[in-house]
Structure 1
């Protein structure tokens, strides 16, 4: 009876020790995960605090994050974060092919945590002995899947070098908690990417890929403020395709769309990287020219008019030709941008009244 009591006490002590260890690990990881991080940077940057904490908690040689190229049908694991890396990592990132390590891939995809005492002899990791394990002198591996929406999207790899190691139950749970922390951080990153795409779509013309009127008005406001502070000139071109309705009537809207796309390419190829090309709507375009005197803007307009007149748009075995009328205006930095737009629009009207394929300066 006395021995049973002693054994029971030892088991209780061991259970309490494991509970305390796990509580300690959980608290540390929760604290790390609560920190605000910039998920617009690379994986190495926004996952670094988690994997460094994991390395310290588990007392391992290295912790790395590998993500599948396709969670539904994985063919590769790609290493996106690693405690050995310092700063930004240049491409190409290290990869593992499923065809080289089929047992390991199958195990991770199934969601099974691999706690290999000896990675060279464990059936789930021995495939690495002639490649990944040998030069790194990795002896013990604790690898666990990162899940999202019920699928394994990658793996947290915890490596112990030189000597085999028996992984304690709390260490296995800790590795799984680290994987869950990575999953949450990766989800935030994915949501950020989706938000960026939606924002881009909101400011982008679907047909041409140019910025739209909504973007132009916001951008112009900030540029006007910047140019006013620096006392620098800001000019704009308003471009209207001549007789565009006739193009649509003759070639259909698909033919008209092809003209708009080709002209958009013409604009972006002609201007500088810092210039802003927007589709205002229909066949109307705006080019905002920062740090540009109106005389230089007239030169840009002339080159664009000539390029447009020389452009032959191939469509269903035919060539569509067109011209443009352009109004040029210096942006009045002391008035709402709409005033400068109206002045350029009136100049376009004058160009059309003068016979089209013309450039007029707003007065």
Structure 2
């Protein structure tokens, strides 16, 4: 089969340059490449497989295929185990393309004869390597039926370009996942797993805009653990960390899924309550206070009971959120001054 490399390369380059949504499945953003290559190489089937671990690969995971009628979920991805196909795994981990004229007799692919080749009438295979940082990361598998086929140099070169295009798209997906993870970490408190102050300010800005449009009320509760410094001084900061984690859990038990609980820092927390008037926020704060008070935290034979002082207020939608935050902060100080373990409003 003759391939005009200049023509098919240009087409592939244009396709690779198109902006894609890599947030979906592998099938979603690799399908156009493998469909194009299936047509160009006139093969029966094209699929993309990735190693589970590029340093010590034990299996290949099929993440995209021209044969799929609909997308697979990750739990449904077909898998090839290294221990079942040692010769094939050894061949592809070298990083050199497999051009099996007769897949049933080629020592690199003959292990598939009984389990796959015969039942699917596959006679010939061309597998090109996907690299990640110069190390084999997976393979693009081109399979033909009918008579055996001697793969031309131009066909191998084109198939390797397809693998390189897949490699670039996989890199973009990795970068997107990394950015997503970094964004998540930037808005999350590492100790408690709650959202942090930065997230609270962003969330409040969105909620204020939404509540202005809807005409609903938005409230917040500030919570400050009583005598927390005493816990750190008496038992150490490691115990104090466990107390903060337990406290976060007790608060989450009371709040709704749509409520936003954040750790401002130290022993100070804020719950933003959408579609809630001040009266409703008072009830929520009292339930939070009681749930914290009734639970005893057991740590290394120590039994620690904590209480919390709460400040409650309705967010003034016409002013910056920081103003409302200061108001409930003053309410917390008032609760502390009145003896702690209580709820006050501003």
Normalising by the smaller structure, the TM-score range is: over 0.9
Ranges of 4+ aligned residues in structure 1 off by more than 6 Å: none
Structure 2 equivalent of residue 135 of structure 1: 119
Give the Cα–Cα distance (whole angstroms) in 1 for the partners of residues 342 and 126 of structure 2: 72
Map residues 85-124 of structure 1 onto 2, 5 A cutoff. 85-90=68-73, 91-124=75-108
Kept after mapping to 2: 8 A contact 1:138/1:159: yes
Cα distance, 1:92–1:322 mapped onto 2, change above 3 Å: same
Q: TM-score normalized by structure 1? A: 0.92
Q: TM-score normalized by structure 2? A: 0.96
Structure 2 equivalent of residue 280 of structure 1: 264
Name the SS of the counterpart of 1:327 in structure 2. strand
**Corresponding position: 1:60 with 2:51:** no
Deviations 1:132-156 (CA, angstroms, capped at 9, x unpaired): 3233222111101101111100000
Cα distance, 1:359–1:96 mapped onto 2, change above 3 Å: same
Match for 1:303 among 281, 287, 293?
287
Kept after mapping to 2: 8 A contact 1:326/1:359: yes
Structure 2 equivalent of residue 145 of structure 1: 129
Name the SS of the counterpart of 1:130 in structure 2. helix
Give the Cα–Cα distance (whole angstroms) in 2 for the partners of residues 268 and 189 of structure 1: 33
Q: How many residues align?
A: 345
Instruction: Say which is worse superposed, 98-107 or 112-121, in terms of deviation.
Output: 112-121
Give the Cα–Cα distance (whole angstroms) in 1 for the partners of residues 87 and 21 of structure 2: 36
Structure 1 equivalent of residue 190 of structure 2: 206
**Corresponding position: 1:178 with 2:178:** no
CA RMSD in angstroms, aligned pairs only = 1.4
**Corresponding position: 1:81 with 2:64:** yes
Kept after mapping to 2: 8 A contact 1:77/1:154: yes
Match for 1:26 among 3, 9, 28?
9
Cα drift, residue 258 of structure 1: 0.7
Give the Cα–Cα distance (whole angstroms) in 1 for the partners of residues 147 and 286 of structure 2: 74
Give the Cα–Cα distance (whole angstroms) in 1 for the partners of residues 245 and 70 of structure 2: 41
Match for 1:41 among 3, 8, 24?
24
| Structure 2: tracts of 5 or more residues without a match | none
Instruction: Say which is worse superposed, 73-82 or 159-168, in terms of deviation.
Output: 159-168
Give the Cα–Cα distance (whole angstroms) in 1 for the partners of residues 249 and 121 of structure 2: 54
Instruction: Say which is worse superposed, 130-139 or 314-323, in terms of deviation.
Output: 130-139
Cα drift, residue 87 of structure 1: 4.1
Give the Cα–Cα distance (whole angstroms) in 2 for the partners of residues 135 and 295 of structure 1: 70
Cα drift, residue 104 of structure 1: 0.3
Structure 1 equivalent of residue 203 of structure 2: 219
**Corresponding position: 1:328 with 2:301:** no
Deviations 1:28-55 (CA, angstroms, capped at 9, x unpaired): 1101100000111111111111111111
Map residues 6-25 of structure 1 onto 2, 5 A cutoff. 21-25=4-8
Give the Cα–Cα distance (whole angstroms) in 1 for the partners of residues 78 and 258 of structure 2: 36
Match for 1:250 among 234, 256, 260?
234
Give the Cα–Cα distance (whole angstroms) in 2 for the partners of residues 185 and 226 of structure 1: 37
Cα distance, 1:132–1:269 mapped onto 2, change above 3 Å: farther
**Corresponding position: 1:262 with 2:243:** no
